[in-house]
Structures are given as structure tokens and as C-alpha cells.
Structure 1
């Protein structure tokens, strides 16, 4: 992973910006939730985390990196926990890609086995779930225009575009030989039609994280509070209540279709407790919260089905495709229950 970064050119760029002098030392790859390349290193007595797009660039990889840096810069000074941006470079001529530097986060990601003291305290785990809500409630309360993000997304008709956007995504899977088609997902047409009929008439635009769940946050090592919300690559201006719906759609419910695994789970709040916590921290209208939950199930289920479609055509591992198809089915079964 280090070989994907020209360390000497990075050091020269840093020197030009007054970010230390001398060699870049102790370069260590960090595991992330995406294919983006993350390195931690030390220079001149200061620790940095470097982030760039994956080695195999997608069409929008560099623009995504520029957007991430922009939203982190806008969040500076707010009460939303986030990695502090140190400097960014949108000029691809420096390292061949856009990149940025941020402060290391002193925390841990909760997916998998929890560390102590969190693993030993059901009360602390309960507070962790509530803190997850506090993060997006704070994010959704920000004035994106005052933070310089007025042009960061297209909030006009944001909700009205959603079903067609994801229905179109699913239709594109027909190109993969062997995929059984939309009928592989229970009630996919009925769920889409329900979403269209019950779409909220109004919403207040705000900053959305876009992929908010337990795998994309870090917690403090000494308590239940969030240390940082991470992986901002899908951030936009839209309806922040979809972030709440995303948490509900990914919230473990003890079934094999759950998309996030945290152990031990006992003590974490119920979905109803999460909604109540958000309601207590936000001025947003939650009367249609089930609609956002269903939309998140619909969107995530269709995204997961894409891997299954590719697996059917031999373009992704079959076992991975089957596993994600099972999760997609579970999400649509959950949506069916909600709309009944």
C-alpha cells in the first residue's frame, strides 16, 4: 500500500506548506471500510493520517476525495465529531491523485469484538447506541449554507428522485447473465410503489453522511461517546433523515441478515430507543420515520443485490454474492413488514 504513494513527493509538498521538515517515518497502512488507501506516519514529531483513492481509480475517485476534504474542512469548529483536516491537495499532478492529510483519531471502530471497558458494560453499550444518534442529530442540525456547502448537493426534489434512481440501478443488473431478475427480491415492486405513494411532501435540506452506521464511526477508548464519524465519501446535501433510516436498516436485530456485527450486543438500544433519542436531539419532523427506514432498506437491498448479480455472471465471488443476496432479501422482508 505504501508503494502506491510517492513519499518523497508527499514530503516536498508538505514542506512547501510548512508541515514539518525532514523524513517521513513510521509509515503504517491502516485498514479502512473502503478501498481507499490510508497511511499513518510521523514527520517532525507530528502524527498524520494520509488518505487517497484506491490504486485502481474509478471515474469519480479524485472528485470524491476532493469532496471528502471539503466537507471535513466545513465541519471544523462544529460539534460534529470528525477527523480534523490538516491539509488537502486537489491537484492530481503532485501524486497522480487527489489526497488529504488529517489528524489521527484516538478511538476504535466497534465492528467485531468490542474492547474493554465497553465489552464488560451493558450500560456503556447502551450509551454507545445513543451516542450514534447524537452524531447525526448534530450533523443534521448544521446550516450547510452558512458552512459554505450551498452547492455541495442537489436537494431540489431529492426525495422524489430516490425510487427511480434505485429502480434504474436494479434494471441495469439485467446485463449480468444468470441473475434471476427483480423477482429474486420479495415485494420489490410493491415496496417501490409504497414509497412513491407515501413520500413526504416536504423536508428541510441539510448535510447527509450518506452511509451512516456502526462501521463508519469510531468511539472513544475510555467511554461511550463518538470519537469521530469517518468515511465521508458519500456525503451530500439532501434529507438528513435518510441517515437515520440507514441506521435503522443496518441495525442488528439478531437475524442472519443483519449487515453489521458487534459483539457483545446485549445492552445496545432498540430501534425505537434510537428514534426517541434522535427525536430528543433534533427539531426535524419524525412523523414519517418508517418511510425513511423503508427507503433505506430499498436502497441498500438493491445495492447489495448488485454484487449477487455480478456473482451470477462469474464477475464476483459466488459465496459473497449469495451472502449479500441473503441480506438483501432480509432487508426487503423488513420493508414488507413496515409497509403492512
Structure 2
């Protein structure tokens, strides 16, 4: 196997590098052997376009697997928790929700520098900026992709959070307050510049905090690019969701946080793009508009959606603060060659401006919960 900055054959090779690799073949091979996951040599390649965690496909005799790990240390506090991400998927699997099957979890940071987990590879389509040629070429099929995206979100939010396998995933009470407080506190420690709009939106979010109508499992990064669809050439099967991916930010909380994020980051014709437009294909004719996504959710949920602009504002405000941390790490030389992080000099202010646009859509006179900082 060719040695690179990401994948090396041996721990000895890794020790010689100034920057640690992301995948050490001999270490992973021993780990898989210990869990009886296939036999023989490994064929490894990086997959996906994640800007946070890193994913590799691992092939060997008798096994087709995916290994998921965090980025190189140092890691921001309470992020990139692969052990928790694996637990979330294991819990959701008991509820019949479509997630990949977790095969093994490694808590030992000595192997790759961070914990990781291994799941079964699923053959399907993750749709971002291109539509697979082999299916969903008709407008009706594109609409089915949009519809199943919303239906799966409703299914997630309908999971019983009182079930013991699910209730251990988080403390839903006070979720919105904690999110606003936490991210407001993250900004000053993760930035090297002044952007007054961050504090302006922080105050607005506190002053307009809506009541949580009920608790649910929330994904935290729910979008089309984190959904795997079944590859099908028959219109009747187009759009079937095989699995929802990337559970790093999942917890228990307010389900409208997911809907706010999905709709705030959803690409549609006539709007300028942002750095968070990770599924530009939805600008094509036939996909739901943002308003149609909201309508589809409302038809299948008992939640009131009048305060959705608040959740959309929070989604982009949080994303801007999270992206600022990535930008600062890039400035510090901790993310060399990261072209996404380089874009964030202008990308973060653009996200904040889009967040302010959503805040302006909040209905006047809407009854809200009185909250003090």
C-alpha cells in the first residue's frame, strides 16, 4: 500500500511522521482480527466529503466495512465523540430506525490516536451535488427523494424517548437554553476576530426563545447528504432510505432544531449559496422547495411550526460558530491543505447574515417563553 499523509502501513512509519496519519493498516488489521471481522490483507480508501470526522472503506476477505474516526488531535472539547456516536446508532437500531450496523468499537486511543468504530458497508446513494444517472431522473422521483427525507425525519422524531435504550442518550430538558448558552460561550474562545453580528444574534435568540413542545431524538446535522438512498431503477422504489448517517451531534432535545437546520441549509433555486450548501442538487427542478419541506413535515406531525424561523436562525448561528473554530484551527496551521476551512474567512459572516434574514421572518407577537440569561 502506498504511504501517504493519511494512510500508512505500520506504526513505525507513523512514528516517523511529523503529522500523525489517519489510518495505520497493521493496527486496524489486528483490531479487525480480534473481532473476527474478515481475513487477510486490507484494501483501504477514504470515502465521503466530511469536513469534521473521517471515514474509510475497508475491504478484506469476508468483510466489507467502514471505519469512522475523528480528525487529528487536538480536538475541541466534547466534539468528535466516536464512542457516543456508535452508542446512538446502536440504540436507534433497537427501535427499527434505519442506521448502519455497528460491528466493533475501539476505545483505545493508542491504535489511531483517537477512538473509532467499524460498521458494515451499505451499498446505496448519498446525494450531494450530482444526481446518480441510474435512477430518479423524472421529476416525480426527485419529489420522492424529498418526501422520504421528511418522512424519515418524522420517523426519527416519533421514537419513544422513554425507552431505556434511548433515554440514556441525553437530558432533553433545557436543550435550547443549553445550546444558546454553550455556543455563545464558544465564540470568544474559538475566534481571532470581531464580528458583532454573533452577539447580536445571541441576544435575539435568548430574547425570543420558544417553548419546547415535546422531546425527541434529534440528529443535529440532518440533511440529504447524510441520508443513504437505495439504488433503484424502478420509479416505485426510488427514494427508499437505507440509512441515516453521521450521528456525531445526535442527542435528545427539541425536534424542531432538526427541521430548522434541514430547511435553513437546504439549497433551492434563486438563492445565493453558502459554505453550508452541501447538497446543491436540490436546486434542480422537481425537488421540494423549502416551504414544501415544512408543509410535508407539518402534515405528519402534531407540532406547531410558527416559531420555525427561530430554529433556522439558531441553526445557522451555531454553524457559523462551529465553522469559526475550524477557520481558527486553519489559521493556526492545524488544518493544512483544508480548502473548506480557507473559505470560512468570508463564509462565516455569510452564514451569520443568512441567520439574520431568518430571524426577520419570526412572526411578531408570537407567544414565547420568558427566559433570562
Structure 1 residue 333 corresponds to structure 2 residue 357: yes
The number of aligned residues is: 332
Q: 1:143: which partner in 2?
A: 160
Q: 1:229-240 counterparts in 2 under 5 A? A: 229-240=244-255
Contact 1:118–1:125 (8 Å) recurs in 2: no
* Equivalent residue in structure 2 for 1:256, among 272, 291, 296: 272
* Equivalent residue in structure 1 for 2:309, among 261, 281, 290: 290
Stretch moving more, 299-308 or 211-220: 299-308
Report deviation, 1:303. Answer: 3.7
CA distance in 2, matches of 1:323, 1:90: 35
Contact 1:309–1:321 (8 Å) recurs in 2: no
Q: 1:266-305 counterparts in 2 under 5 A? A: 266-304=285-323
* Equivalent residue in structure 1 for 2:143, among 123, 126, 129: 126
Encode CA deviations 1:106-132: one digit per residue, 9 max, x unaligned. Answer: 122211121124562222111111111
TM-score normalised by the chain length of structure 2: 0.77
Contact 2:229–2:240 (8 Å) recurs in 1: yes
CA distance in 2, matches of 1:314, 1:13: 32
Q: 1:1-340 counterparts in 2 under 5 A? A: 1-3=6-8, 4-20=22-38, 22-58=39-75, 60=77, 64-118=81-135, 120-172=137-189, 176=192, 179-183=193-197, 189=200, 191-222=201-232, 223-253=238-268, 254-258=270-274, 259-260=276-277, 261-263=279-281, 265-304=284-323, 319-338=343-362
CA distance in 1, matches of 2:331, 2:107: 38
Report deviation, 1:68. Answer: 0.9
Higher helix proportion (structure 1 or 2): 1
Contact 1:74–1:147 (8 Å) recurs in 2: no
Contact 2:64–2:121 (8 Å) recurs in 1: yes
Contact 1:153–1:236 (8 Å) recurs in 2: yes
Encode CA deviations 1:24-50: one digit per residue, 9 max, x unaligned. Answer: 332222134134332222233221111
CA distance in 1, matches of 2:324, 2:259: 22
Judging changes above 3 Å, is the alpha-carbon distance between structure 1 residues 200 and 89 closer, same or farther for their aligned structure 2 residues?
A: same
Helix, strand or coil at the partner of 1:23 = strand
Judging changes above 3 Å, is the alpha-carbon distance between structure 1 residues 297 and 5 closer, same or farther for their aligned structure 2 residues?
A: closer
Encode CA deviations 1:83-102: one digit per residue, 9 max, x unaligned. Answer: 22122122334554322111
Contact 1:212–1:243 (8 Å) recurs in 2: yes
Stretch moving more, 219-228 or 30-39: 30-39
CA distance in 2, matches of 1:19, 1:9: 14
Helix, strand or coil at the partner of 2:167 = coil
Let me know the Cα RMSD of the aligned residues: 3.1
Contact 1:298–1:335 (8 Å) recurs in 2: no
Report deviation, 1:318. Answer: 5.8
Encode CA deviations 1:204-231: one digit per residue, 9 max, x unaligned. Answer: 2221111112222222222222222111
TM-score normalised by the chain length of structure 1: 0.84
Contact 1:310–1:321 (8 Å) recurs in 2: no
Judging changes above 3 Å, is the alpha-carbon distance between structure 1 residues 157 and 18 closer, same or farther for their aligned structure 2 residues?
A: same
Encode CA deviations 1:243-300: one digit per residue, 9 max, x unaligned. Answer: 0110111011332234324236211112222122222333444343333223223323
Judging changes above 3 Å, is the alpha-carbon distance between structure 1 residues 315 and 65 closer, same or farther for their aligned structure 2 residues?
A: closer
CA distance in 1, matches of 2:41, 2:251: 34
CA distance in 1, matches of 2:26, 2:331: 44
Encode CA deviations 1:8-62: one digit per residue, 9 max, x unaligned. Answer: 3333333333333x31332222134134332222233221111222233415589
Report deviation, 1:233. Answer: 0.8
CA distance in 1, matches of 2:348, 2:136: 28
